Structure 1
Amino acid sequence: MALPRFFVAQPLALGAQFDLPEGVARHVQVVRMQPGEMVTLFNGEGGEYQAQITAMGKKTVSVQVQTFAEVNRESPLRLTLVQAISAAERMDYTVQKAAELGVTVFQPVISQYCQQRYSGERAEKRIAHWQGVAASAAEQCGRTRLMEIRPIITLAQYLQAGLQSELNLLMCPTGAVHHSLLPAAVASATVLVGPEGGYSPEEDESAIAAGYTPLILGPRIFRTETVAPVIAGLLQLRYGDFA
């Protein structure tokens, strides 16, 4: 049976003794673990650590790191998802599934049809929230590195930075290219996904002018929260660790 697995945002080393973060400790107590039992810890820097519970207080759980395993469950495909911000629950779902499906970089952007717009402190809080969603997904799916979630910018700002991958795709219901026509092999890919209602015609034109290839998946129109997991799964099957 697999050990309970938790993300801890701190340095880890063999022999280290420390109290688990409050949220992790609460989880350990809820599932009624006891001193002497083992947990798996990771800090997003690669590999996993097995730690033994040494003591439990009313709100604290102390552990000692016993062993380290150099495991790597990252895809060989460096996949960047540029996702226009959608409604709260839909965006959380997108972040969660992107993390599970091996997306390397998650870039939230504001576009013309976005119903949610964040700036300043609100933007920082949303980024922190999405980082928590991604960390929980990594705990569940076995990733040893966290998906990088970048600060919110506008789509125009992202396009101005230029192409950053070998394959650059714009998810577009009127796309001229079917996924069956994608190249045979690439090491990196960037995908632009719009919000509810998609990108505006002007934004599609700007992305295409910037070098993005419009792509269509099939005959049906997907919701924004469906597009990201579908294209991520397809690209992992073609170029990544689903192959």
Structure 2
Amino acid sequence: MPRFFIEPSQVRENRIVIQGNDVNHIKNVLRMRPGDELSLSDGRGTDYFCRILSMERDQICLSIENSWKSYVELPVKLYLFQGLPKADKMEFIIQKAVELGVYEIIPVRTKRVIVKLDEKKETKKIARWQQIAEGGAKQSGRGIIPEIKPVMGFSEALAYAGNLEGVLIPYEKAEGIEKTREMIAGLKGKKSVGIFIGPEGGFDEAEVEAAMAAGVLPVTLGKRILRTETAGLAMLSVLMFEFEEE
């Protein structure tokens, strides 16, 4: 069933009015007609099962047949602090991270980041990345659209992560896998967990030391060396499995 996101303000008693780009998609791409069914989410955790009542040139009116709290979201908010990668790797990371249940993605400018974004390019990139997050949320049936934050410096990102209940950083010098399993199991019941992932060149030693001094827990991802676009997704997969409820 086609799925779209709306703003809570579009819900009017037992009706929902869709406007903007989605109107064209519903009418001309999906070729839907009055009586057809749609799945909608207000992006705040409420889902709606709707039926098309009428279709006008610039808006579509739907009746709310049923509504419920989204059951697909994890009980923990996962924050991915991603060192800026080269080329279009960030788009891939965002798409897959959204599928794996991430709550928020924070692009981070570290010492070994190669990509340089000026203010104009950054604004366009963030807008593009947010579109990808929305597309990933629609495809995977999410109850929210994960937010892509503006690019932060490493110190700023550490300060932002200080508000979370638990933060991890994969590090090649971390203790063995059993210690990592203990740390991850110890996060059970936390409401917010962050993950710091370095860019292609990894984190500078001083950055790792600063992170650990701030209370970030070093973990291992095993004996193999993972690319930046793999490491974060591996961590999210582990945490999704650990926190997922029935």
Q: What band does the TM-score fall into relative to the shorter chain? A: 0.7 to 0.9
Q: Give secondary structure in 1 for the equivalent of 2:48.
A: strand
**Bigger mean CA offset, 61-70 vs 228-237:** 61-70
Give distance in 1, aligned partners of 2:114 and 2:163: 27
**Amino acid of the residue matched to residue 69 of structure 1?**
S
Give distance in 1, aligned partners of 2:216 and 2:203: 13
Give distance in 1, aligned partners of 2:95 and 2:161: 27
**Structure-2 residue corresponding to 1:237:** 241
**Structure-2 residue corresponding to 1:37:** 36
Report the Cα offset of residue 107 of structure 1: 1.2
Question: In the alignment, which of 201, 225, 230 is matched to residue 226 of structure 1?
Answer: 230
Give distance in 1, aligned partners of 2:141 and 2:158: 33
Aligned ranges for residues 202-221 of structure 1 at < 5 Å? 202-221=206-225
Distance 1:101 1:162, change over 3 A: closer
**Amino acid of the residue matched to residue 244 of structure 2?**
D
Report the Cα offset of residue 5 of structure 1: 0.6
Give distance in 2, aligned partners of 1:49 and 1:147: 19
Aligned ranges for residues 98-177 of structure 1 at < 5 Å? 98-161=97-160, 163-177=162-176
**Structure-2 residue corresponding to 1:180:** 181
Q: Give secondary structure in 2 for the equivalent of 1:182.
A: helix
Please say if residues 49 and 67 of structure 1, whose CA atoms lie closer than 8 Å, have aligned partners that are also in contact: yes
Question: In the alignment, which of 169, 194, 197 is matched to residue 193 of structure 1?
Answer: 197
Give distance in 1, aligned partners of 2:69 and 2:35: 24
Please say if residues 54 and 62 of structure 2, whose CA atoms lie closer than 8 Å, have aligned partners that are also in contact: no
Distance 1:52 1:20, change over 3 A: farther
Distance 1:17 1:207, change over 3 A: closer
Question: What TM-score does the superposition give when structure 2 sets the normalisation length?
Answer: 0.86
- Name structure 2 gaps, 5 residues minimum: none
Report the Cα offset of residue 19 of structure 1: 4.2
**Bigger mean CA offset, 148-157 vs 218-227:** 148-157
Post-superposition CA distance 1:55-113 (Å, at most 9, x none): 456x7552323234113221112211111111242101111111111112211111112
Please say if residues 8 and 21 of structure 1, whose CA atoms lie closer than 8 Å, have aligned partners that are also in contact: no
**Amino acid of the residue matched to residue 47 of structure 2?**
E
Please say if residues 175 and 214 of structure 1, whose CA atoms lie closer than 8 Å, have aligned partners that are also in contact: yes
Report the Cα offset of residue 177 of structure 1: 4.7
Please say if residues 164 and 190 of structure 1, whose CA atoms lie closer than 8 Å, have aligned partners that are also in contact: no
Q: Is structure 2 residue 21 aligned with structure 1 residue 22?
A: yes
Q: Give secondary structure in 2 for the equivalent of 1:130.
A: helix
**Structure-2 residue corresponding to 1:12:** 10
Give distance in 2, aligned partners of 1:77 and 1:106: 14
Please say if residues 161 and 194 of structure 2, whose CA atoms lie closer than 8 Å, have aligned partners that are also in contact: no
Distance 1:142 1:19, change over 3 A: closer
Please say if residues 10 and 18 of structure 2, whose CA atoms lie closer than 8 Å, have aligned partners that are also in contact: no
**Structure-2 residue corresponding to 1:53:** 52
**Amino acid of the residue matched to residue 11 of structure 1?**
S
Give distance in 1, aligned partners of 2:161 and 2:3: 38
Stretches (4+) displaced over 4 A: none
Give distance in 2, aligned partners of 1:12 and 1:68: 16
Give distance in 2, aligned partners of 1:232 and 1:54: 40
Please say if residues 53 and 61 of structure 1, whose CA atoms lie closer than 8 Å, have aligned partners that are also in contact: no
Please say if residues 50 and 67 of structure 1, whose CA atoms lie closer than 8 Å, have aligned partners that are also in contact: yes
**Structure-2 residue corresponding to 1:66:** 64
Report the Cα offset of residue 54 of structure 1: 3.8
- Name structure 1 gaps, 5 residues minimum: none
